[in-house]
Amino acid sequence: MKKIGLLCLALVLALGTLGVGYAMWSDEVIIEGTVDTGTLRLGIVKAKLEELVQDKDVATVDLSFESSIAPWECDTPVNAEEFAYEKLVVALNNTFPCLWVDIAFYVGSVGTIPVHITGINITDPSKELTWVWEDEPPRTPCGGYFYHTGDPDKEPVITVSIGGSVCTQLHWCDWVKADLMIHVEQPAKQNYEYQFEVKVIGEQWAE
Amino acid sequence: MKKIGLLSLALVLALGTLGVGYALWFDEVTIEGTVNTGSVEISINATSETYVYKNVTSSAMVMSGVPLSHGIGTDLRLVASATAEDTSSGTEKKVTMTFDNIFPTTEPIVADVVLHYIGSIPVHVVLIEDSVDEAIEPYLVQKWYMWDGEDWVPTEIEELQLHYCDLLKLDVYLDPAFLQADGKAAQGLSGNFTKTIFVHQWNEEP
């Protein structure tokens, strides 16, 4: 009986302190927020062989894409791919010196931030060819520059000229057409498939 | 005649007792009172926002504290925004902030809210809820300021005491340097945050 009494006393005291706690006045403000960051996405959405200049129909050019970035959900250009891709892979088969190849490729913006195209990088995944700029870049060159291969002191194996107004600004769903004009030079190897990757570089327009 | 005599006697006696009543000396004190209780109240005083446009003719970036005419027929395209809106309902006081399409910029893209303490009792400030989704937590910056009569002065919110008419400001933005440093990892993120600012009379603990 004494224990029950003590328990009751403890409860009363506890309720009493609770009463003090709730006895104060208060007010409150709620601040809620949602955050979405933008995206800067630039991809190659279409490529086609425009011209293959050769006397006999021996050389072939394969075009393929690697690393999809995002769906290309825009109406143009005609026959565009379903995705925008990070890389265009160009494979030259059974080539020979003096072969001319003209490839058109289309670069599209699939990001929400306007993008400024600053250049095009060409690399050879097999490391057979080292692509260098004719002019040392402060930044990756865009149009009108030539690339060549191997030791700059030696004769190039392949030269590539980039045509079209590639270095432009694109908004979501905008695209621009560019050209790769490829010339196979005299030092090219026999019975060898030359392959290189084309990647377009961009940065947000405001920088 | 005897009855008239008795009636007269009764009247005389009655008047006599009345005379005694009026003959008392007396005095009095009146106590009057007015009661005003205090109040604890914090209100949403103002909100402000930032809009980021691209001028498609000059390529310039335009930041504005007010929405500008943009879209077809103008040079401006809306790229990003940070807005704050008073969405209070009934007794619930609420501000809803929305950060849309945020990207690295030289100046942060800020939304803010100014709270005004209009209660008559001094209060303590407590953040009873301060949650941020993991995805945006590294980038979200929240800075508190108090108005000193001339300028906004940075302050800590915890243990802060407010008095009548104090102004408290919260700036919220995503740190441009961190967004820039993280590159693609910072792109395409979505997340929410909630803060509940609770004020209670300064001399008690919740």
Total structural domains within chain B: 1
Those residues whose C-beta lies under 8 Å from the C-beta of residue A156, and which sit 6 or more positions away, are: A148, A149, A150, A185, A187
Flag whether B177 is in a domain: yes
Cβ–Cβ contact B195 with A under 8 A: yes
**B21 falls in which pLDDT band (50, 70, 90)?**
low
- Which of 109-148 (A) contact B at CB < 8 A? 111-114, 116
d(CA B12, CA B20): 12
Q: For residue B144, is it within any domain?
A: yes
Sequence-distant (6+) residues with CB within 8 A of A200 are A42, A43, A44, A107, A117, A119, A120, A121, A166
In a domain, B29, yes or no: no
Q: Which residue has the tokens 């009569």?
A: B149
Bond into A138 cis (ω within 30): no
Shortest CA distance from A32: residue in chain B? B194
For testing contact with chain B, the best of A20, A26, A28, A31 (most B CBs within 10 A): A31
* B116 has a chain A CB within 8 A of its CB: no
Q: Which two tokens stand for residue B147?
A: 């108005």
In a domain, B77, yes or no: no
- Gap between the Cα atoms of A15 and A21, Å rounded: 10
Portion of chain A with pLDDT greater than 90, in percent: 39
- What separation in angstroms does the CA of A47 have from each of A7, A64, A177? 84, 8, 9
Identify whether B172 is part of a domain: yes
Residue B79 lies in a domain: no
Cβ within 8 Å, pair B196-A30 = yes
Please tell me which residue of chain A has the smallest CA distance to B200.
Answer: A26
Mean pLDDT throughout A63-69? Answer: 95
> Is there a domain that residue B187 lies in?
yes
A167 or A115, which is more confident: A115
B102 touches chain A (CB under 8 A): yes
**Per-residue DSSP letters for A64-104?**
EEEEEEEE---S-STT--SEEEEEEEEEEES--TT-EEEEE
Q: Which residue in A has a C-alpha nearest to residue B172's C-alpha?
A: A33
B120 pLDDT above the threshold of 90: yes
Would you call B34 exposed, middle or buried from its count of C-beta atoms within 10 A (0-12, 13-18, 19+)?
exposed
Residue B65, pLDDT above cutoff 80: yes
Say whether pLDDT at B116 is over 90.
yes
Looking at the domain assignment, is residue B2 inside a domain? no
Size of the A and B interface in Cβ pairs below 8 Å: 151
Residues 8-37 of B with CB under 8 A from A: none
Which tokens is B202 given?
Answer: 């300064």
Contact B54 A205 (CB under 8 A): yes
Smallest Cα–Cα separation from A44: which of A203, A200, A204, A171? A200
Overall average pLDDT of the B78-92 stretch: 96
Question: How much is the pLDDT for A21?
Answer: 47
Nearest CA in chain B to A70: B188
Q: Does the pLDDT at position A164 exceed 60?
A: yes
Q: What whole-number distance in Å separates Cα of residue A181 and Cα of residue A133?
A: 15
Inter-chain residue contact A39 with B193, CB threshold 8 Å:
no
Within 8 A of B48 by CB-CB distance, chain A residues are none
Lowest mean pLDDT among A6-20, A175-189, B49-63, B118-132: A6-20
Residue A75: pLDDT band by 50, 70, 90 thresholds?
confident
Q: Specify whether the CB–CB gap between B201 and B123 falls below 8 A.
A: yes
DSSP 8-class letter at A204 = E
CB burial readout B94-107, b (16+ within 10 A) else e:
bbbbbbbbbbbbee
Q: Does the beta-carbon distance from A112 to B101 stay under 8 Å? A: yes
Instruction: Test B136 with A27 for CB contact under 8 angstroms.
Output: no
Residue B121 lies in domain: 42-48+99-201
